[in-house]
Amino acid sequence: MGAGPPARVQAVLADVPLVADRVTIGTWLYEVNALLAHLPAGADRARLLEARAVVRAGLLRSEDPCPAGRGRGDDGPAEDARGAAVLYEAAGMPQQAAASCLVAAGVHAARGNVKASTEMAVRALVGYASVPGYDRDPRTGADLAIRLAGLCRQVNDHDRALEFAEVAVAQSELVGDLARWSAATHDVAEVLLRRADRIRPGGEGYRIRAGLVERAEHLARQLLDRGEPKTVRAVHGPRLLASALCELGCAERAWEVLESTSAADELLTAVPLASLHLVRGRCLYRLGRLEEALAELDAAVPILTEGADLTDEVSTLLLRGRVHEAMGDTAGALADARLLGHRLWERHQQQELAFMDQVFSRAGVEGERRSLIAKTEVLARTAEQDPLTGLDNRRGVERVLRALPAEDPVCLLLLDVDDFKLVNDRFGHAVGDEVLRQLGRLLVGAVREVDRVSRWGGEEFLVVLPGQAARFGSEAGERIRRTVADHPWTGIRAGLAITVSVGVACGPASGRTEALHRADEALYEAKRAGRNRVVVDGCSPPGPSAP
């Protein structure tokens, strides 16, 4: 006779595939569904629902051929997790209920439903806080920390994600649980690489960035040595190691590592496979193998645009745009820039509205109100970038200006592309867009690192020079004008020539609105005086500038 239900439940729970493996997951889900069909309410049913929620969440965006892997739409994993939380609470198991709430929070966050995600996360934290320290189970604590790390990572709160992932590593080591240690170590390495990616190279930033990447490399090698289950050693460890090696400038070594993962593609569900395609594409791009890089990124994009981790989607679209550009495919690069802008704005709108709902629904709780405002500000920054040029847009640079100390001097350069309408009419809008992109790069290269370049709107750009007076603004404006006029624009299209007119105004940061108005008037004077020149507020327009 076969084992009874409790023994079968324990056996199934012992085999939960914490890291996605398509074949193993399909078999496991069939067994779970069969058990749940006859299992009464209680702790065992809660454990199975929670485990199924975790596994289904990993299949939301996979093309899983197995009916057992299909939930009730995208809400299936969240419903499982909520059901498990209710059963755990009824059984007097608040710590386990908190862990289930975090599974639901992660599912909602992945779908962009920040209101539901935040509600479930708050419920989890309140429940966990109610458990006395001496009564907390390290394994459940490790699960809780892993899920908190994943949730924070989904909303780009990398500092907290790292903190929770390291707690999970410590808890897993305490109980000697290698599978949980592997999942937590994977999260630590992933967050370290993402934090490094947000640091600009150069100066002190270079040292900090290198330190983060080197630590990620060390953790990836540990996963290669003793990660569990097998897919950690065969795929996820090599992927993280290759990412770190690429960031350290060792693309050839990274590709050698990645070649060992090619046979594992069939084992992976869609989202881990998309991450693997992204790393391969990045490595091939750095090796100069552009067509192969493009093929890998083309394979990743359709998966990621179905609602996966937005950070990976943004990274993939940015990289694919650079590959298109390196291949001379301006139209492809422009299409990726537009898709990226659309996706960022779409996600921002979803999350901003959700945060407002959350603010009003919890208006009386000051701690939650502050948390929501802080997260809304983080999300708002995703809408502060111009998708065509990659520069700050008007909203982004206005935030920069507001942050300047009120009494500090600031110089504003407002510039406009001369006769840009004629460029569009004669050469087409694709050429016009490429002109704006190249112009943005020229402007960034023509000013100091502390200066801020933004696309003010249309063919207008605004350059912010903190701490500078009019004389330095005039010099910077003239340097920009010469750089633009001397640039070989014919590389875009034969017969193309571009010049800019620049208006300069300075004053205290507290008077930025007035300074902007004066810079606009100076720009108008430069246009009226014949274009291709720099006019400083309060000075007479100079004669025609030499090209």
What is the per-residue DSSP string for 425-485? HHH-HHHHHHHHHHHHHHHHHHS-TTSEEEEEETTEEEEEEET--HHHHHHHHHHHHHHHH
Burial class (CB in 10 A: 0-12, 13-18, 19+), 67: exposed
Domain ends where: 117, 136, 155?
136
Kindly state the average pLDDT of the residues 21-28. 73
pLDDT for 65: 37
What is the per-residue DSSP string for 237-251? HHHHHHHHHHHTT-H
Report the distance separating Cα 80 and Cα 308, nearest Å: 20
Residue 65 parent element (H or E): none
What is the per-residue DSSP string for 120-144? HHHHHHHHHHTS-GGG--HHHHHHH
Report the distance separating Cα 501 and Cα 248, nearest Å: 41
Is residue 339, in this structure, part of any structural domain at all?
yes
Instruction: Clarify whether residues 301 and 345 are in a common domain.
Output: yes
Residues designated as active site: 459
Report the distance separating Cα 294 and Cα 300, nearest Å: 10
Residue 424, pLDDT > 90, answer yes
What is the per-residue DSSP string for 302-357? HHHTTT--HHHHHHHHHHHHHHHHHTT-HHHHHHHHHHHHHHHHHHHHHHHHHHHH
Report the distance separating Cα 422 and Cα 441, nearest Å: 22
Instruction: Clarify whether residues 357 and 414 are in a common domain.
Output: no
Show Cβ contacts of residue 344 under 8 Å, excluding neighbours closer than 6 positions.
Answer: 310, 314, 382, 383, 385, 387
Instruction: Clarify whether residues 528 and 412 are in a common domain.
Output: yes
Residue 346, pLDDT > 90, answer no
Of 99 and 67, the structure prediction assigns the larger pLDDT to 99
pLDDT for 63: 39
Residue 494, pLDDT > 70, answer yes
Is residue 522, in this structure, part of any structural domain at all?
yes
At residue 393, what are phi and psi to the nearest 5 degrees?
Answer: -95, -170
Kindly state the average pLDDT of the residues 32-38. 86
pLDDT for 67: 38
pLDDT band at 348 (very low <50, low <70, confident <90, very high): low
Instruction: Clarify whether residues 531 and 445 are in a common domain.
Output: yes
Instruction: Clarify whether residues 20 and 65 are in a common domain.
Output: yes
Contact of 135 with 96, CB cutoff 8 Å: no
Of 147 and 513, the structure prediction assigns the larger pLDDT to 513
**Stretch among 133-142, 239-248, 338-347, 532-541 having the lowest mean pLDDT:** 133-142
- 37-72 pLDDT, tens digit per residue, is 888 888 888 888 888 887 777 654 443 433 344 443
CATH of the domain at 315: 1.25.40
Instruction: Clarify whether residues 332 and 405 are in a common domain.
Output: no
Kindly state the average pLDDT of the residues 128-148. 74
A 10 A CB-CB count for 216 gives 25
Kindly state the average pLDDT of the residues 99-113. 78
pLDDT for 69: 41
**205 to 118, 120, 197, 243: CA distances (angstroms):** 33, 36, 11, 19
Torsion sign over Cα 164, 169, 172, 178: positive
Of 306 and 439, the structure prediction assigns the larger pLDDT to 439
Q: Which domain holds residue 492?
A: 394-536
Nearest to 397 by CA among 505, 500, 512, 484: 512
3-state secondary structure of 540: coil
Kindly state the average pLDDT of the residues 144-151. 78
Is residue 176, in this structure, part of any structural domain at all?
no
Contact of 64 with 20, CB cutoff 8 Å: no
pLDDT band at 531 (very low <50, low <70, confident <90, very high): very high
Instruction: Clarify whether residues 402 and 511 are in a common domain.
Output: yes
Rounded to a whole number, what is the distance in angstroms from the first to the last CA of the chain? 92
Instruction: Clarify whether residues 346 and 398 are in a common domain.
Output: no
Is residue 89, in this structure, part of any structural domain at all?
yes
pLDDT for 164: 85
**Stretch among 187-191, 234-238, 351-355 having the lowest mean pLDDT:** 351-355
**Stretch among 6-15, 214-223, 303-312, 471-480 having the lowest mean pLDDT:** 303-312
pLDDT band at 263 (very low <50, low <70, confident <90, very high): low
Report the distance separating Cα 405 and Cα 510, nearest Å: 8
Look over the chain and give the mean of its residue pLDDT values, rounded to a whole number: 81
pLDDT for 64: 40
pTM for this prediction: 0.52
Nearest to 323 by CA among 269, 356, 355, 281: 281
pLDDT for 522: 95
Residue 455, pLDDT > 90, answer yes
Show Cβ contacts of residue 27 under 8 Å, excluding neighbours closer than 6 positions.
Answer: none
Tokens 């299209």 correspond to: 493
